[in-house]
Amino acid sequence: MIPVTRPHLPEMSRYLGYIERCYQNNQLTNNGPLVQELKARLEDYLGVQNLLPVANGTLALQIAYKVLGISRVAITTPFTFVATSSSLKWGGIEPVYADIDASSLNLSPQKAEMILDPEVTALVPVHVYGNPCNVEAFDRIAKDHGLKVIYDAAHAFGVRLNGKSVLQWGDAATLSFHATKVFHTVEGGAIVFKKREDYERACRLINFGYEEGEVADEGINAKMSEFHAAMGLCMLDEIDSVLQEREEIYKRYYEALKDHFEIPVWKEGATRNYAYFPVLFPSEDALLKTQQRLNDAGIFPRRYFYPSLDALNGYARPDKGNPISRSRADRVLCLPLYSALPLEVQDKIIEITVSSQKLYARTPSEFSMMSLTGG
């Protein structure tokens, strides 16, 4: 079975070396030496400051909202994994959706600005597939309207924009280190804060609100354990080769598919981490038929991100629909991409996908009309 992704497992002897240190230290959690080392190495590797490792990417979002005092309503994207919105709801914040940009598939700043009202306290855009949002526009909107910006950067590990980490944008940016991600700690995540004082408050919040042995704040438990940090340290040791292997696979897909499929347009000046390979089909019917042919061959791509969250019960205001997000979510399929994907399997995926496109596609002129109209 060929899944959409497979976690990278580092050399076991390397992992055991770090685990041995946990045994020697006899400290398993509570900001131990491995978590501290991981924090320092991640800040150095990513080129950021005020990075706080946490237990997962969902808690990373929730802690960021809490630290930044987000309440009432946040404008966010319907084209993402459900955690971006469910984390808001858990914090008592209503997610309100603005539509996405048809070519990048990221939240549209213009559409977000159009639906601002006095209830809105924050913008929560997502760098979908690791593709940076229009951060300059969100920055301007936030300044003009006194809003906080929290970027869900779950997919954007290591991505740089104009030579700097994309995580430097916003009041906070959150990462997921889930096993399916390019860089992982099995389960885990991190928050990068712009301001030192926000980072310091978050350090208390993830540890039940404790400061110097006293409960000083309304906290929760979102700490990363030493065993999870051990996996992160191994992954960092191997990250360059992981990214290189992913890049090769990504580029083979791109060369083979770019003339047959619409592929999301990448932000100018941004690097890639080759986390996903999404393709847009001309219709949901063509997608489903191709998916079936791939499944019949034992290949299981995933419909990331489907459905558009505004189509989920209880997630959108009844009068609000986001037609571009819905149409994109109905037609997007992520092809298998992981460092150990055998080339002959990739060739098979390409062959089935391209031949299906020829069988089920509309004419190229219909295809480009749809791109222009965002249909």
Ligand X SMILES: Cc1ncc(COP(=O)(O)O)c(C=O)c1O
CB-nearer residue toward ligand X: 87 or 290: 87
CB 166 within 8 A of CB 185: no
Q: Hey, how many other C-beta atoms are within 10 angstroms of the C-beta on 357? A: 18
Closest CA to 77 of 129, 117, 118, 140: 129
The least distance separating ligand X from the CB of residue 126, rounded to whole angstroms, comes to 5
Nearer to ligand X, 58 or 339 (CB): 58
Q: How far apart are the first and last CA of the chain?
A: 34
Query: Which residue of the chain is nearest ligand X when measured via CB?
Result: 57
Instruction: Tell me whether residue 85 or residue 291 sits nearer to ligand X (CB atom).
Output: 85
Whether the CB-CB separation of 190 and 177 falls below 8 Å is answered with: yes
Tokens representing 70?
């987000």
Q: Rounded to the nearest whole angstrom, what is the least distance from the CB of residue 279 to ligand X in the complex? A: 18
For ligand X, the closer CB: 84 or 346 = 84
Residue 220: both structure tokens together: 């929760």
- Of the pair 206, 370, the CB lying nearest ligand X is at 206
Which three-class secondary structure state does DSSP give residue 234? helix
Q: How near is the Cβ of 360 to ligand X at its closest, in Å? A: 28
Q: Nearest-5° angle of CA 67, CA 142, CA 153? A: 60
Chain centroid to Cα 282, Å, comes to 25
C-alpha 8 chain-centroid distance? 17
Contacting residues toward ligand X, per CB under 6 A? 56-58, 80-81, 83-84, 126, 152, 154, 176, 178, 189
User: Using an 8 Å Cβ cutoff, are 98 and 109 in contact?
Assistant: no
How far is the CA of 160 from the CAs of 29, 164, 178, 292, in angstroms? 31, 5, 21, 36
Q: Which is nearer to ligand X, 126 or 294 (CB)?
A: 126
Q: What count of Cα atoms within 13 Å lies in the side-chain half-sphere of residue 245?
A: 14
Question: How many CB atoms neighbour CB 18 within 10 A?
Answer: 21
Which residue bears the tokens 């960021």?
64
| Minimal distance, residue 188 CB to ligand X, in Å | 7
58 or 325: whose CB is closer to ligand X?
Answer: 58
List CB contacts of 361: < 8 A, sequence separation 6 or more: 260, 281, 282, 286, 367
| Cβ distance to ligand X smaller for residue 86 or 371 | 86
In the complex, the smallest distance separating the C-beta of residue 58 from ligand X, rounded to whole angstroms, is 3
Closest approach of Cβ 152 to ligand X, in Å? 5
- Taking the complex as a whole, the smallest distance from the CB of residue 59 to ligand X amounts, in Å, to 7
Nearest distance from C-beta of residue 56 to ligand X, angstroms? 4
